[in-house]
Structures are given as structure tokens and as C-alpha cells.
Amino acid sequence: MSPLTPQQEADLVAAIQQAELATSGEIRVHLEEECPTPEPMDRAAQVFSQLGMHKTAQRNGVLFYVAWSSRQFAVIGDAAINAAVPDDFWERTKELVLDAFRRQQYVLGLQQGIQLAGEQLRRYFPYNADTDQNELDDTISYGAPKPPRP
């Protein structure tokens, strides 16, 4: 079950598509009910790999990971974008998103984080009409639902 309405999901996909317009970078959002690992960054790294985000040509994928019931969040970037952005970029992005989450503005928080990531991707990985292709699906991905309790 998704915590998003169809309109909210469409708004997030639109934010991803807008952020990817002028860059070769790829952005994904993954939602699941509970984080199965103690650290959300560990789970984000697992999901990043499961989604094949490490296979982009320029290694410039960004994943926003949210476990809504366990109230956990992480943002993770691939090797090339990590090497390019300022050292505190991911932490600043995380805090921007979490600030909106604290006000219960979940979609807005993700939209703002996606926009910020898109700005950095455009700066370091500009769009090239001759070589660019959308390497990853823009839709929201979902983890398995929490199993019912016996």
C-alpha cells in the first residue's frame, strides 16, 4: 500500500523528470513501509544496487529512500556525483527534506530534495543531446509490504 495518492505520486515523477531535463544524471525515489536494516543508509545502498542505479554510464544516479512507517530517510549518490558535489551536500539535502517531513510536508520535502540534486547534476553532468538517454525509470519504486503479524 502506498502512502501517496495518485496525484502525489504523479507530482513526484514530474519533479524527477523536471530535475533530469538538463542533465545526464538519474534520480529515483524508493518507498517502503519499514526499513529492514538498522541504518537507512545501508538499506538505501541495497536498494540502489537492486534498482541497477550503479550501472549508469556516468555513475551519477541519486536515490531518495523513505521508509514511512519506521520514519527513516536516506539520500545516496553514485561514485561520480559523490566525487563532484561539496562534502556537505548530501547532509544538507537530507536536512532540507527532513525539515519538510517534520512539518508533515512529505511530498514537498522530496520535491525540494529532488530539485537540489537536479541542480548539482546539471552543474556537473550537463545534458548532451548526442549521448544522453533516460537510463532509469522515473517512476516511484516500492519495497515489499510489511508481512502481517501472526
Residue 149 lies in a domain: no
Instruction: List the CATH number of the domain containing 96.
Output: 3.10.310.50
Q: What is the pLDDT of residues 79-109, one digit of tens each?
A: 999 999 999 999 999 999 999 999 999 999 9
Q: What is the pLDDT of residues 16-46, one digit of tens each?
A: 999 998 888 899 999 999 999 999 999 999 9
Kindly report the average pLDDT of the chain as a whole number: 89
Grid cell in block for residue 90: 548530501
Residue 24: Cβ-neighbour burial (10 angstroms; 0-12, 13-18, 19+): buried
Q: Which residues form the domain of 112?
A: 6-142
- The number of distinct structural domains making up the chain is 1
